[in-house]
Structure 1
């Protein structure tokens, strides 16, 4: 009989189950408390009962866990300093979508040499997330692989669905079962429809194929996630963080009968992928937030910043020992000094309009 399937498959290699990876890197009490505290605060911000702003800030992608944890320790100190006005959530991205080719991230290729030791990458990613949470920082990530949350979801406080995947039924279904709030980015053309529809879809119950903790194919039935919200990242050749764009986003949410919960990504198309413009975007948004609060309403509840120890980015060299410490290998970032300045200035500007008697 002629073969008709798996014609382009070279091999099937066994992957440890989520249960096995969890057993190798178990959730600690300290990490669990950090995750739950982060989620609870994010939910209160999205419900409107916590007046603070949350900021997802960190490297474009994690490639060096030593530098990543160095960054996390710095960020924790800053998070404590600005806790009266902002909740800082560390950006911990392990998966990178690619238009054509390129490094797909720490899980897919942890050795950065096209050896694709995914089983190793998944365990190391979990180890890194555990360490970040034990430092006392909640973590945020982008969900690309629908199987990944079974391995890492218990360590995540906030999830992003990217501009290229907000329209994907698979990602909307997955989001409906996630335990953390989910931000859906507007399309790469700047349109809001896909993200708004994704919020509605993810809030509903779904049934779809997935895996359970034992790695067995399962019908996954979800309850729906009511903490979906909109992320403005610019697109179609222009930013969309200005007051007119925010007003249009509010109108789109009104039409869909959704809460006014908007996050502005200071990077990507909103800064034309120029990291030096991120402080200007943030400054504008902080002014908008202050004006909104003074007027007695709110819609911008969060911000996103791509930030690392060193500014800019670098190509991945053949000799990995030549990598510059604390510098992104994907999108360019602002450096740590700029990050401190951005967040301290935001804290000073918001201190008079945000009153939070219990920042813990």
Structure 2
């Protein structure tokens, strides 16, 4: 056989029973989910800022970072809703490299998925407890949703996953904000078709069950730039890109039109300091056009305690071991600038 079966994984119910979310934090998540819903449905004009490390590789610095956001959120609460990025799964273009804490709780050791599922859940819970902020994660593996479904207020579907049928159908069963990124090709039609699929009910198989879903009306698009046929990064956050997106949205039967702009990845060419300029351009364009203001509901920023990135094994506290991130001082200043420009 091509497969070697190593361990039987515990079920989501077993993991959640061992590491439960308290009633107090459950109520907090419900409150934040409602706030985010109101933004995406146009009932509230707060702006979403999804911000945090490229990958959440270590509990202590991640929770330290997230807790720093608490004081900032309090100062901008009249204008912004901060959603910490706690991304526990890392997609790899070639399949090589660190795949996230859910797979490798220790980046310098072999994969251990049972320990990884526990580490993933513990980190999310600790971050909520210490910061009072519920977070975002990327759903790289649809079957892992049950392990964190009671913890997350935002879910991202990555550029490599957005065309996958199982991802689209699984999102149709979520009741939280879900952002569908454009594929690496940059094709807006693929992204919008993914939103359409996730917003509608479906009947399919999931984790060994026959299931039905009701559709997720909070599914929206995330613009992350693209890669040309020659391998060059191309941007899709400019004024004309958003106007084209608005036109395409208008031609489809979609609920709650909304876009979030990912300031890193191909939009910045992974030049992490460019995120500052990109975010400010997005905010400026919202000031220029009521249509863009209604469409663009938030931004994504890759940020950590220390700027840049490091190799696995260097052990610089709070520095990314995957893509380079904006440092804390620049990030804090940028959040205040976003609030001023809202």
Match of 1:197 among 193, 200, 215: 193
Is the 1:234–1:270 Cα contact (8 Å) retained in structure 2? yes
Structure 1 residues without counterparts, runs of 5 or longer? 1-6, 212-216, 351-360
After TM superposition, the structure 1 = structure 2 runs for residues 238-257 of structure 1, keeping only pairs within 5 Å, are 238-257=234-253
1:221 aligns with 2:221: no
Pairing 1:54-93 to 2, within 5 Å after superposition: 54-93=48-87
Aligned to 2:336: 344
TM value normalised by structure 2: 0.95
Mapping of 1:1-360 within 5 angstroms? 7-100=1-94, 101-134=96-129, 135-211=131-207, 217-236=208-227, 237-258=233-254, 259-293=256-290, 298-317=294-313, 322-350=314-342
Once the two structures are overlaid, the 10-residue window that deviates more, 112-121 or 66-75, is 112-121
For each residue in 1:285-344, what CA deviation from the matched residue of structure 2 results, as whole angstroms up to 9, or x when unmatched?
111222335x89511111000000000011112xxxx41000001110000000011011
CA contact (8 A) 2:48 2:83 kept: yes
Q: TM-score, normalised by structure 1?
A: 0.90
| Secondary structure of 2:171 counterpart | helix
Distance 2:289 2:116 in 1: 43
Following superposition, the deviation at residue 113 of structure 1 comes to: 3.0
CA contact (8 A) 1:61 1:105 kept: yes
CA RMSD of the aligned region, Å? Answer: 1.4
What's the CA shift string for 1:181-220, capped at 9, x where partnerless?
Answer: 1100011111111110011101111122223xxxxx2112
Alpha-carbon shift at residue 260 of structure 1 (Å): 3.1
Number of aligned positions between the proteins: 334
Structure 2: where are the runs of 5+ without partners? 228-232
1:153–1:179 Cα contact (<8 Å) kept: no
Task: Report which of the two structures shows the higher radius of gyration computed on alpha carbons.
Answer: 1
